[in-house]
Structure 1
Amino acid sequence: MLSYQHIYHAGNLADVQKHALLCAMLDYMGQKPKPMSYLETHSGRGLYDLEAPEAVKTGEAEAGIGIAEDWFDVDHPFRRALKAVRDGFGEQAYGGSPLLAAQLLRAGDKMHLAELHPREGDALEDAMVMFDAKIHRRDGFEMAQAVCPPTPRRGLLLIDPSYELKTDYDLIPKQIAKLHRKWNVGVIALWYPILKDQTHLQMLTALEFQNLPKTLRHEVRFPAAREGHRMIGSGMFIVNAPYGLHDEAKRLSKLFST
């Protein structure tokens, strides 16, 4: 609900997978001259300090982007976006999805970012002040349903909840089905954790039952961040996956398996 703060987990291996695929999609979509919209349901604060006590305490960034950055060439869109964030905010800065996306969007593209947590929302507004982004201080699914289909109609929606509420697993397939009916050309990207109890499987079964177009399901596994930690992997389920994304997903799978 309102207790989750991503600073404890920013830059972890789940972020590496999610942000690599996100940046690859936005980079490809940006190669066409038509404008696009970027929407995000659970934006967080947008900018993270990897030297903050919360990040140092868990060590997830050190075991994440700290070792994985060299997986990406300097011209990879994720590496380029991360460099732009560091150039603007310092070497220990890590961009959340909104700030990384902003580095790859162009003049004329539109951003709609939702964040319900009061402090995270304040920080998000500060992080995005230099960008043309509409910040919605409301439930992310409500925002997405209200905005879709967006203008410009071409675009991408990232759904990245904390899954603090177990009902999210039942709610999300219904939300995606409704959003796709409204916005059948939109790329809808869902991130989900892979937990030891395999909580995500029923949600994915419901999504696959809908026969959504051009779907990509990509999952990676990694050791638990610490003893007792339940997350052992990260997944992305993408509707209307852009051309070439399967190749990037395969490349990531090999990197995570080494």
Structure 2
Amino acid sequence: MLSYQHAYHAGNLADVHKHALLAWMLDYLTQKPKPLTYIETHAGRGLYDLGGAEAVKTGEAAAGIARLRGAFAPDHPYARALSAIAIAHGAQAYPGSPLIAATLLRDIDSLHLAELHPAEHAALSAVPWPRKVQIHRQDGFEMAQALCPPTPRRGLMLIDPSYEVKDDYARLPKTLQQIHRKWNVGILCLWYPILTSGAHQDMLARLTAAFPGALRHEVGFPPVREGHRMTGSGLFVVNPPYGLDHESETLGKVFKTLD
């Protein structure tokens, strides 16, 4: 199934949660002068227009980044990335995680992005990237398995499927274990939605059993519209960098202001 398009959801509260912590982790990693590898399994189109018909239709960006942009200090890595992208692409531009990574990482770092959806892949390829990236039109899980262990071995992988395919919930614990066996030093960051159906709960129980030292961080928020099934956002991070627990707690306080 390849019907999911993130343009309807870009800049929503789940994006703010995911992107703020991703930006912090990338900034932490770049404080050492050693190269790193960034891998993203489900990249999307990379750059979104919050003034476009899709974003306006759902109102998710208005309830998300439009409300919380001011909660981040100007020197926060997420705020720095948003500012740089607004300067480059306009005030209504919102970056997907690939463009956040390309903005914060350095020329010595390697970026691998996978996107299978034909239209999303075409849009991703057309982004005026600020640095070199390698874009793969293939299943993201297959790319991750093929690349690991990457060179450089130091780095981070973001796994952010749409969860349109319900098998993803069952597939992910085993997939993360396979990747970890190949790349035991890599930071593996899995995003998941918190749904009223509880579809994520069995997956998380299996992940927690497999990775007892992982960091799990969740935020809750009001449904963006009546009947919307997502009421929160979660990140499960294997090999979390030092200080991520404190940064997560700080971000959690920002989300509590939404109550």
Normalising TM by the smaller chain, what interval?
Answer: over 0.9
What is aligned with 1:246? 245
1:150 aligns with 2:118: no
Question: Which TM-score applies when normalising by structure 2?
Answer: 0.98
Aligned 8 A contact 1:221 1:233 in 2 = yes
Correspondence list, 1:54-203, <5 A = 54-203=54-203
Q: What percentage of aligned pairs have identical amino acids?
A: 62
Letter paired with 1:217 = R
Distance 2:202 2:185 in 1: 26
Runs of 4+ that moved beyond 4 A? none
Distance 1:50 1:116 in 2: 23
What is aligned with 1:6? 6
Distance 2:22 2:210 in 1: 23
Q: Report Cα offsets for 1:171-205 as digits up to 9, x if no partner.
A: 00000000000000000000000000111110000
Aligned 8 A contact 1:11 1:94 in 2 = yes
Distance 1:229 1:188 in 2: 28
Letter paired with 2:7 = I
Q: Report the aligned-residue RMSD.
A: 0.9
What is aligned with 1:226? 225
Q: Which moved more, 1:203-212 or 1:9-18?
A: 203-212
Aligned 8 A contact 2:102 2:130 in 1 = no
Correspondence list, 1:6-45, <5 A = 6-45=6-45
Q: Give the secondary structure class of the aligned counterpart of 1:235.
A: strand
Distance 1:16 1:211 in 2: 25
Q: Report Cα offsets for 1:193-233 as digits up to 9, x if no partner.
A: 00001111100001011135x41100000011111110000
Q: Give the secondary structure class of the aligned counterpart of 1:111.
A: strand
The number of aligned residues is 257
Gaps of 5+ in 2: none
Distance 2:22 2:92 in 1: 21
State the Cα distance separating 1:71 from its structure 2 match.
1.0
Q: Report Cα offsets for 1:117-153 as digits up to 9, x if no partner.
A: 0010011011154421110000000000000111111
Taking a change above 3 Å as real, the CA distance of residues 128 and 145 of structure 1, as seen in their structure-2 partners, is: farther
Letter paired with 1:81 = A
Q: Report Cα offsets for 1:38-81 as digits up to 9, x if no partner.
A: 00000000000000000000000011000101110000000001
Question: Which TM-score applies when normalising by structure 1?
Answer: 0.98
Letter paired with 1:96 = G
Q: Report Cα offsets for 1:229-256 as digits up to 9, x if no partner.
A: 1000000000000011111100111111
Aligned 8 A contact 1:99 1:128 in 2 = no
Distance 1:210 1:58 in 2: 37
Q: Report Cα offsets for 1:83-134 as digits up to 9, x if no partner.
A: 1111110000000000011111011100000000001001101115442111
